[in-house]
Structure 1
Amino acid sequence: MGTGLLIFVWVLQTIFLIHRIISHFNLSFLSLFEYMLFFSWLLVTISLVISRFFRIEFIVFFVNVAGFAVLTLNLFGIRSGVSMEPWQLAREMLVVHVSLMICAYAVLTIGAIFSGMYLFLHGRLKSKRWSKSVQRLPSLDVINRLMYRFVLVGTPLLTMSLAVAVTSIMVEGRYGLLLDLKVIASFVALVLYIWNMLHYRWFDSPSWKTARWNLICFAVLLFNLLINEASSFHNWS
């Protein structure tokens, strides 16, 4: 599914890139928009080639994160014939950042609920304590698959949201904000989620440990919401 969506993105970018080149036949007059669009298209193309001939999932993942950041910057900040102030660009990118972050929180919340259900059912079955609530729950295998899939979707959403946020900070030139407590906490939560998923996938970590770490990661995200007052630019609450 992921590869299919990536191919769909590549086709759309290819069509749009060809249209821009045809409409600007003289390549010497191509704007920065076209050059950045071509750069983003090239990143997606390289990631597709890598995913087709090599099993290097890390490279494909990070190349697409970089391509997404470049494409976002290109669509919102570099428009042919239009000059935008850094604060205007940051404001438009803020909409993308907040939208992706809300989606990430929603999906990861459901993943945390399934994690709690897994730990509850696992504890009940291990101690052989049966109840009506246990009978109404699905099997451990079903809960485990749903838990893994929701976290697997939520983690890239969180990654893309942070990629847009970092890009907007760099556009404004306010690099000191990268050391903000809320930014650091967000990246800590992201690293924990990635580490937990890789540990489960590659090192056959027990599902109950994965569920417990999912709850710990989600607790870091909740803590991230509570420290808005300590943030220099997230103190809107």
Structure 2
Amino acid sequence: MFDLVLARLPELVIVIYALSILLYFIDFVDHNRKANTLAFRLLLIVWTLQTIFLFMYMTSTGRFPVLTIFEGLYFYTWVLITISLVLHHIFKVDFTVFFTNLIGFSFMAIHAFAPIQRSSVSAEQLMSELLLIHITMAILSYGAFSVSFVFSGLYLLQFKLLKEKRWKKKLWRLADLAKLEKASFILNTVGVPMLLLSLILGLRWALIKLPHFHWYDPKIIGSFFLLIVYGFLLYAYAKRVMFGRKLALWNAVAFLCVLINFFLISGLSKFHFWFS
């Protein structure tokens, strides 16, 4: 019975999630406040069910669920929903939740139709407090970068509407450009130190646990490159070396690097069994 619930709960979540995204899209197109309210309530249900599933999974496995790609994608989606709900109350940008959860739903769909526990190395073999914290912090940093990308996307949309003098209702629901740029900067400010700490802990774990460790591993190079890119974006914003539309475009490029590092480069790594 317990295994059946674990198997069916994600399916229920993705159906409710799809309905929520559909209602957010209706609100996006037609400025329908009833659809927005219902979509937000459904998203709260999704978050609640996901949280219940995570606790049930932890109870079943006896560990924090981030050690395989099956678990990691689910946790990443939970992080995105959590961040979007929090930011919805802080920044009051209507479309943040919609666009953030388009990303979240995409990863949830990948999770739902992927073979369970694809990793070639069992989670028990990888068990380590250092590794758990390393992976968790990496996923949290990716979540922050993802929502930062959403704010940059909204900035570019707002900029386009203003430049074309298209005074529509959507314009007033996107928040002003300065607010969108600031929100993106804050999320990157959270993501960069998380990624740095994650790399430090991951390297420490590798040096202790792995008999054959290479500093030139593609995943290590890719992760440090990602850190440099986002570090530069923080410096450019703080010193006003780069700002506005150009900064938003570069932030979008940086998120593309996140996706490449998350999926492509991880598969090339010699010791990142999590994505084997």
**TM bucket, shorter chain:** 0.5 to 0.7
What is the CA distance between 1:203 and its match in structure 2?
Answer: 4.0
One-letter identity of the residue aligned with 1:159 = L
CA separation of 1:89 and 1:235: change in aligned 2, threshold 3 A: closer
Distance in 1 between the 2:224 and 2:248 partners? 20
- Match status 1:168 vs 2:205: yes
| Letter in structure 2 aligned against 1:229 | G
**Does 2:140 align with 1:100?**
no
TM-score if structure 2 supplies the norm length?
0.50
Task: Establish whether residue 156 from structure 1 lines up as the match of residue 193 from structure 2.
Answer: yes
Instruction: Indicate which of 164, 185, 197 corresponds to 2:222.
Output: 185
1:219 aligns with 2:256: yes
> How many angstroms apart in 1 are the aligned matches of 2:137 and 2:149?
18
Contact 2:207 2:213 in 1 (8 A): no
Distance 1:137 1:88, change over 3 A: same
1:82 aligned residue:
none
TM-score normalised to structure 1 length: 0.58
Q: What residue is the counterpart of 1:229 in the other structure? A: 267
Unaligned runs of 5+ in 1: 1-86
Whichever of the two has the greater Rg, that structure is 1
Q: Which residue of 2 aligns with 1:198?
A: 235
Letter of the 1:234 counterpart: H
Asked whether the equivalents of residues 196 and 227 of structure 2 are also in contact (C-alpha less than 8 Å), the reply is yes
User: How far apart, in 2, do the equivalents of 1:217 and 1:90 lie?
Assistant: 31
1:24-66 Cα shifts (integer Å, max 9, x gaps): xxxxxxxxxxxxxxxxxxxxxxxxxxxxxxxxxxxxxxxxxxx
SS at match of 1:96: helix
Cα-to-partner distance string for 1:163-204 (whole Å, 9 max, x where unaligned): 111111222365643211122111111100001111221244
Are 1:133 and 2:170 matched, yes or no? yes
One-letter amino acid of the structure 1 residue matched with residue 166 of structure 2 = R
Question: In 2, distance between residues paired with 1:175 and 1:189?
Answer: 24
Percent identity between matched residues is: 30
Instruction: Give the total of aligned pairs.
Output: 151
